[in-house]
């Protein structure tokens, strides 16, 4: 099986060889940063339609974590184009973090469409280093479709725990590796290297639930589901929340 996967991977890599050449020359990263927000905007619209009921379910108890100030302070990690805004409760104070500055103009549009929210600021930063955010300053941290592409899940989750106040919550929704010995997992392994290049560092085979369960949370509520998505490769999902 391993040899079959290797041969098929090689065949796929040959098909996308021009992209590997651009990456070798240092051009592909620039292209991704510049144009990936436009691609993500379209993909996110489709994802939101197909996952709307699950997102409403996930975020239904956000208000339960409102802090002493009486207003929910929420940080969205890897905010992208702001497609989660419509699921947040009115009056919520939102801080956005993303390493790609080209998302800002899409965020401005989303903010204009969700005026019931109180937008605080947009920080251009990697989730592994959010030093601009004070310790214990957030009631909630949200992370959707982000752990698949970060450099270090462990460092990000340490930062999440740092910025959350005691009793605050980390909400997540992520596509993950399929069950081993399934055809879906087989094709995830075959396509993973090319997928990583095409979709700005996204990994198909990450078992992200392990990182969440190992992090320093006092309580974790996590579910595995088969998401109602068009692309079968992305159907294995986890979602839930963890309390500091």
Tell me the pLDDT tens digit for each residue of 13-38. Answer: 889 888 888 888 888 888 888 888 88
pLDDT digits (tens, 9 = 90+) for 227-237: 999 999 999 99
Residues 6+ apart with CB under 8 A from 182: none
Report whether pLDDT(205) > 90.
yes
Residue 37 is predicted with a pLDDT of 82
- Mean pLDDT throughout 46-62? 95
Contact 95, 123 (CB under 8 A): yes
Contact 202, 221 (CB under 8 A): no
User: How far apart are alpha carbons 167 and 242 in whole angstroms?
Assistant: 10
Q: Does the pTM of the predicted model rise above 0.75?
A: yes
Report whether pLDDT(241) > 90.
yes
Residue 228 is predicted with a pLDDT of 95
The three-state secondary structure class of 136 is: coil
From the list 171, 123, 128, the residue with the least C-alpha distance to 152 is 128
From the list 232, 230, 172, 175, the residue with the least C-alpha distance to 202 is 175
Least confident of 10-19, 55-64, 166-175, 228-237: 10-19
Residue 177 is predicted with a pLDDT of 97
Percent above pLDDT 90 for the chain: 69
What average pLDDT does the structure give for the chain? 92
């Amino acid at each position: 099986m391993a040899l079959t996967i290797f041969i098929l991977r090689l065949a796929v890599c040959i098909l996308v060889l021009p992209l590997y050449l651009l990456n070798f020359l240092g051009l592909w990263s620039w292209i991704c940063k510049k144009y990936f927000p436009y691609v993500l905007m379209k993909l996110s619209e489709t994802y939101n339609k197909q996952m709307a009921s699950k997102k409403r379910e996930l975020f239904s108890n956000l208000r339960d974590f409102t802090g002493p100030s009486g207003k929910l302070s929420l940080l969205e990690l890897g905010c992208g184009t702001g497609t989660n805004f419509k699921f947040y409760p009115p009056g919520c104070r939102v801080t956005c973090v993303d390493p790609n500055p080209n998302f800002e103009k899409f965020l401005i549009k989303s903010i204009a469409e969700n005026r019931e929210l109180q937008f605080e600021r947009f920080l251009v930063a990697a989730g592994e280093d959010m030093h601009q955010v004070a310790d214990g300053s957030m009631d909630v941290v949200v992370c959707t479709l982000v752990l698949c592409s970060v450099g270090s899940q462990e460092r990000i989750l340490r930062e999440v725990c740092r910025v959350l106040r005691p009793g605050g919550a980390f909400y997540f929704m992520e596509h993950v590796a399929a069950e081993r010995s399934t055809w879906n997992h087989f094709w995830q392994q075959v396509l993973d290297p090319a997928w990583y290049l095409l979709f700005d560092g996204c990994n198909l085979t990450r078992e992200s639930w392990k990182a969440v369960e190992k992090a320093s949370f006092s309580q974790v509520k996590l579910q595995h589901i088969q998401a109602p998505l068009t692309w079968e490769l992305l159907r294995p999902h986890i979602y839930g929340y963890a309390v500091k």
